[in-house]
């Protein structure tokens, strides 16, 4: 399942990420546990919580991130 398709308020574990250097720097890496805080309407970004920090990720990046429910 992709991160964008994952339902709100649920946690998931990141399985695969696209090759975008900034993602890793922000802590979005394989094996990390994140929860989906919100999804903006009309194809807007999705906000995920990683530890205590929120990160906004554009739809087309979130669609390339594979996750698994936790």
Partner 1 sequence: MQSCHKEVKIEDSPEGIKILLVGNPNVGKSVVFSKLTGLNVIASNYAGTTVSYTKGHINFNRKKGTIIDVPGVYALETTSPAEEVAIKMLDEENADVIICVLDATNLERNLNFALQIQKYNIPIVFALNLADVAKQQGITIDVSKLEEELQAPVIETVAIRNIGLKQLLNKAYDIFENPKGKASTDKKRTISEDDRWKKIGEISKRVQKLEHRHPTFMEKLGDAMLKPLIGIPIAFLVAIIMIAVVVGGGKGIRAGLLLPLLNNYYVPFITSLVSMFVTEGLIYNILVGDFGVLILGIEWPFALVLPYVFFFYIALSFLEDSGYLPRFGVLIDTVLRKIGMQGGSAIPIMMGYGCAIPAILGTRAATTKKERIIVATVVSVAVPCTAQTGAFIALLGAHSAWMLATVFLFSFVGILLSGLFVNKILPGEVEPMLLEIPNLLVPDAKTLFKKIMMRTRSYILEGATPMILGVLFASLVVETNALKYVAVYIEPLIVDWLGLPREATIGLVLGVIRRELAVLPLIEMNLTSLQLLVGSVVALFYLPCLAVMGVLIREFRLKVALLIGGSTFVIAFVVGGLLNHTVRIVSGIF
Q: Using CB under 8 A as the criterion, which residues of the chain lie in contact with partner 1 when the complex forms? A: 20-27, 29, 37-38, 40-45, 47, 49, 51-61
What does the alpha-carbon distance between residue 34 and residue 14 come to, in Å, rounded to a whole number? 7
CB of 63 to partner 1, least distance (A): 10
Give the residue among 1, 2, 4 at the shortest CA–CA distance from 56.
4
CB of 68 to partner 1, least distance (A): 19
Strands, E assignment, 1-70:
11-16, 33-39, 46-50, 53-57, 66-69
What does the alpha-carbon distance between residue 59 and residue 70 come to, in Å, rounded to a whole number? 21
* Nearer to partner 1 (CB atom), residue 1 or residue 48: 48
* Nearer to partner 1 (CB atom), residue 15 or residue 59: 59
CB of 10 to partner 1, least distance (A): 15
């Amino acid at each position: 399942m992709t991160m964008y398709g994952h339902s709100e308020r649920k946690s998931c574990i990141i399985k695969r990420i696209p090759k975008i250097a900034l993602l890793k720097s922000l802590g979005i890496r394989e094996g990390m546990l994140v929860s989906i805080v919100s999804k903006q309407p009309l194809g807007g970004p999705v906000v995920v919580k990683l530890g205590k920090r929120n990160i906004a990720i554009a739809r087309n990046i979130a669609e390339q991130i594979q996750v698994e429910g936790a």
